[in-house]
Amino acid sequence: MKMLTDIIKNIIRKPATEKYPYKKEPVPEGFRGKQIYDKEKCTYCGLCAKACPVHTIGVIRDKKFWQLDLSKCIFCGRCEDVCPTKCLKMGNGYELASHKKENFVIK
C-alpha cells in the first residue's frame, strides 16, 4: 500500500509530460543538434572530414566544396571540436524529419 500515497498525490499533480508538437521544451545550452555552417569563415582544411567517425563530411579544397549529410550524422560534435576557424557549430535544431533528400544536406 506504500504506492497509494504516490497515486493519490498524482491526482492533483500536473502531468509530467509535455504536449509535444504544440508546446516545445527549449533545448539546453550546449545541445548537440543540427550543425550551423559559416561558409565565409571556412578554409576548406578538411580536418572535420578526417575526424568524422561516420565519414559524413565531404571536402574538396580546390573547388571550395564542403558538404555534410545529416542522414548519416551521429551528432557527436567531433567536427566542432577540431574546426580551427570555428566556422562549424552544433546548433539547436532537432526536428529533422523530411520527405526531401535535399533537406538533409548542409552546404
Partner 1 sequence: MSREDSYSIPLGPQHPALIEPEYLKVHLDGETIVDVDINIGFMHRGIEKALQQRTYMHDRFLIEKICGICSSIHTLSYCGAVEKLAEVDIPERAKYIRMIIAELERLHSHLLWVGIAGYEIGFDTVFQLAWRDREIVMNILEKISGNRVSYSMNTIGGVRRDISKSKAEELHKAIDKIDARIYHYIDVFTKDSTIIKRTRGTGILTEKDAKKYSIVGPTARGSGIFCDIRKDDTYLKYSTIDFNEITHKTLDIESRAVVRLKELLESTKIIRQCLNMMPKGNLSVKVPDIIPEGETIFHAEAPRGEILYYVRSDGTDKPYRVKIRTPTLANILSLKPMLKNQQLADMPIIVASIDPCFSCTDRVTLLDTKTGRTKTVDETYLKSLKRQ
- Which residues in this chain contact partner 1 in the complex, by CB under 8 A? 1-3, 6-7, 10, 16, 28-32, 51, 53-54, 74-78, 81, 90
Q: In whole angstroms, how close is the CB of 11 to partner 1 at the nearest point?
A: 12
Task: Collect all residues with Cβ–Cβ distance below 8 Å to 2 and sequence separation of at least 6.
Answer: none
Q: In whole angstroms, how close is the CB of 102 to partner 1 at the nearest point?
A: 26
- CA 96 and chain centroid, separation: 9
Q: In whole angstroms, how close is the CB of 45 to partner 1 at the nearest point?
A: 17
